[in-house]
């Protein structure tokens, strides 16, 4: 843009944070990079810190300008181009690096912008340690002591906050406590040299536990036990003041100390784990004739049906984490052509060999086409499509793929026993199930499948993990009729558990994130 030199780009730039437009937050400037003089390939140093939420569509806009003066008014500078992107697209791209063309200047190639994201480390290590004691003071008149330990983290103001209690070991002066695990941030708030105080008590049934003594250490000192035992003297300040010959009230030995990283959802996504999204739609007759405005499948020219809104709300977020954007989509509970046979697992695109649709728009297009060609019937069976996705998930259990099945339904389930068995079987696989209930029906039976309170069981077997999330869409409908707001509310709630469910699978199968190449 400069006649006698190259451009002086600033702001990749103006980072305009569209925040959550879906929730009515007005757009505003989030931040601005530094200006880099006389270059067409600026590498901006300034980083921007954002809160990341998997379950939300976090839209960002990047504006790039050529800075010609010291004016703070951005309109005084030359506009070079802009890019729109969702934060999830950046995180879900390979190595969390995304390249996008800059647009916005008619008839001109504006170049490209390269965006990268990384998760800030917040001391995610977990410590597992084991301690024992020797020759503790005897506190009980008719027996020995019943010792336990209390750990305290020191605060900035010099006070202490309790952060762990061991179990009580009965009737001994030489207890060996069970190993226990605690996050490093809970133990020392990430400050390795911060004081950790440990009190030793003798347990009493009435709660008036007797103080045996105390000692102090730090995370850094504890960590040395990885190579050698560390012995601490347990001291009772009152006894020490009263008795000249007082030595100690026993000793505590740190037997083992191991540190393990606690991996996050982003660690796995950056390592290449792909989310595979599958859709299953209820085509039972209870939805009503699709051509009638009273039908839950009614295709109004003015607004989306509840089914279409649920598909769009969930799918538009998950598709950012699926590189091929191909989504298998099925229907169930309909009579299908040419012979009118009842199917509980028919491809919406009519292609049995390849039921995948291209993007969420492709899923919606196939869904609308199916409404014109199949006859709504019944019953409402979930098990066939759950088992279909489970078969796919069972083929890739190394952590590189994770399957998410979205079932959208209007009514009470007909094959509850078979569905419970399918869920129990699927709970050992890399998959989650989201069930969205649409319409006015009572969905009490569905709550049984959502294992938040009581784990789903079948034939005496409990599900290994909670993998089902059920919600009735009516709870998220905006009363003013704002469909965008309704979809945002739904997606936020139904997707919030997916990261934790993915982590529970990885942890239970001891799968660590794959290492990414250095950027």
Q: Give the H/E segment covering residue 147.
A: strand 147-154
pLDDT tens-digit readout, 461-473 = 999 999 999 989 9
E-strand ranges in 306-449 read 326-332, 334-336, 341-343, 346-347, 356-358, 375-376, 401-409, 431-437
CA distance 181 to 252: 18
Instruction: Give 142 or 385, the one with higher predicted confidence.
Output: 385
How far, in Å, CA of 247 to CA of 239, rounded? 9
Nearest-Å Rg of the Cα atoms of the chain is: 30
Max mean pLDDT among 47-56, 66-75, 424-433 falls in: 424-433
* Selected residue with higher pLDDT from 31 and 312: 312
**Cα separation, 94 vs 100, whole angstroms:** 14
Query: Which tens digit of pLDDT belongs to each residue from 416-453?
Result: 999 999 999 999 999 999 999 999 888 887 888 887 76
Given a cut of 60, whether residue 27 has pLDDT beyond it is no
Q: What is the pLDDT of residue 257?
A: 92
Q: Is the CA virtual torsion 386, 388, 389, 392 positive or negative?
A: positive
pLDDT digits (tens, 9 = 90+) for 311-334: 999 999 998 888 899 999 999 999
User: Do residues 267 and 155 touch, judged by C-beta distance below 8 A?
Assistant: no
- DSSP for 468-487? EEEEEGGGG--TT--HHHHH
pLDDT at residue 13, rounded to an integer: 37
pLDDT, mean of residues 398-425 = 95
pLDDT for the residue numbered 23: 25
Distance, CA of 281 to CA of 368 (rounded, Å): 11
Per cent of the chain over pLDDT 70 is 91
Mean pLDDT (whole number) for 499-512: 94
Encode pLDDT of 93-151 as tens digits: 887 889 999 999 999 999 999 998 877 656 678 899 999 999 999 886 677 899 999 99
What is the SS3 assignment for 127? strand
DSSP assignment string, 400-428: SEEEEEEEEESS--S-HHHHHHHHHHHTT
Q: Which of 238, 236, 234 is nearest to 250 (CA)?
A: 234
How buried is residue 402: exposed, middle or buried, by Cβ count under 10 Å (0-12/13-18/19+)?
buried
Percent of the chain with pLDDT strictly greater than 90: 57
Is the pLDDT reported for residue 272 higher than 80?
yes
Higher pLDDT, 226 or 4: 226
User: Among 25-29, 106-110, 294-298, 444-448, which stretch is predicted with the lowest mean pLDDT?
Assistant: 25-29
Kindly list the strands in the beta sheet with 210-218, ordered across the sheet, starting from the edge strand earlier in the chain: 160-165, 147-154, 195-202, 210-218
Mean pLDDT of the chain: 87
Average pLDDT, integer, range 284-310: 93
Residue 18 in this model has a pLDDT that exceeds 50: no
Sign of the torsion angle spanned by Cα atoms 508, 511, 512, 518: negative
Which of the listed ranges 14-28, 143-157, 183-197, 284-298 does the model predict with the highest average pLDDT? Answer: 284-298
């Amino acid at each position: 843009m400069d006649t006698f030199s190259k451009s002086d780009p600033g702001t990749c730039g103006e980072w305009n944070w569209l925040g959550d437009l879906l929730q009515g937050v007005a757009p505003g400037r989030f931040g601005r990079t530094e200006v880099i003089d006389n270059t067409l390939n600026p590498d901006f140093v300034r980083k921007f810190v954002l809160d990341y939420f998997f379950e939300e569509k976090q839209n960002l806009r990047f504006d790039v300008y050529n800075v010609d003066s010291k004016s703070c008014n951005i309109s005084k500078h030359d506009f070079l181009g802009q890019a729109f992107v969702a934060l999830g697209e950046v995180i879900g791209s390979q190595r969390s690096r995304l390249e996008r063309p800059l647009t916005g200047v008619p008839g001109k190639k504006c170049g490209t912008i390269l965006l990268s994201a990384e998760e800030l480390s917040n001391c995610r290590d977990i410590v597992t340690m084991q301690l024992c004691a020797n020759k503790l003071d005897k506190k009980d008149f008719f027996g020995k002591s019943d010792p336990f330990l209390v750990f305290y983290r020191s605060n900035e103001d010099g006070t202490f906050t309790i952060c762990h209690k061991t179990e009580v070991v009965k009737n001994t002066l030489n207890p060996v406590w069970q190993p226990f695990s605690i996050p490093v941030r809970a133990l020392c708030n990430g400050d390795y040299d911060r004081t950790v105080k440990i009190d030793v008590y003798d347990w009493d049934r009435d709660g008036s536990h007797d103080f045996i003594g105390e000692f102090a250490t730090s995370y850094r000192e504890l960590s040395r036990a990885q190579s050698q035992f560390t012995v601490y003297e347990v001291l009772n300040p009152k006894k020490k003041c009263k008795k000249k010959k007082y030595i100690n009230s026993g000793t505590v030995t740190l037997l083992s100390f191991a540190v393990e990283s606690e991996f996050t959802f982003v660690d796995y996504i950056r390592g290449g784990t792909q989310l595979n999204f599958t859709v299953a739609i209820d085509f039972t007759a209870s939805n009503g004739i699709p051509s009638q405005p009273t039908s839950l499948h009614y295709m109004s020219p003015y607004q989306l049906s509840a089914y279409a809104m649920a598909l769009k709300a969930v799918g538009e977020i998950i598709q950012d984490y699926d590189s091929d954007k191909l989504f298998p989509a099925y229907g169930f509970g309909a009579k299908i052509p040419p012979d009118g046979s009842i199917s509980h697992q028919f491809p919406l695109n009519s292609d049995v060999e390849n039921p995948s649709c291209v993007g969420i728009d492709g899923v919606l297009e196939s869904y609308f086409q199916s409404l014109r060609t199949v006859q709504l019937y019944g019953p409402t069976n979930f098990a066939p499509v759950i088992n279909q996705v489970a078969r796919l998930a069972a083929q890739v259990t190394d952590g590189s793929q994770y399957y998410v099945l979205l079932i959208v339904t209007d009514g009470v389930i007909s094959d509850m026993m078979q569905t419970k068995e399918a869920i129990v079987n699927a709970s050992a696989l890399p998959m989650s199930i989201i069930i969205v209930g649409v319409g006015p029906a009572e969905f009490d039976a569905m709550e049984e499948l959502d294992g938040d309170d009581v784990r789903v069981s079948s034939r005496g077997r409990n599900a290994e993990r909670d993998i089902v999330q059920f919600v009735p869409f009516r709870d998220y409908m905006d009363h003013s009729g704002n469909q965008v707001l309704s979809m945002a509310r739904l997606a936020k709630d139904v997707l919030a558990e997916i990261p934790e469910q993915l982590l529970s699978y990885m942890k239970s199968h001891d799968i660590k994130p794959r290492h990414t190449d250095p950027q």
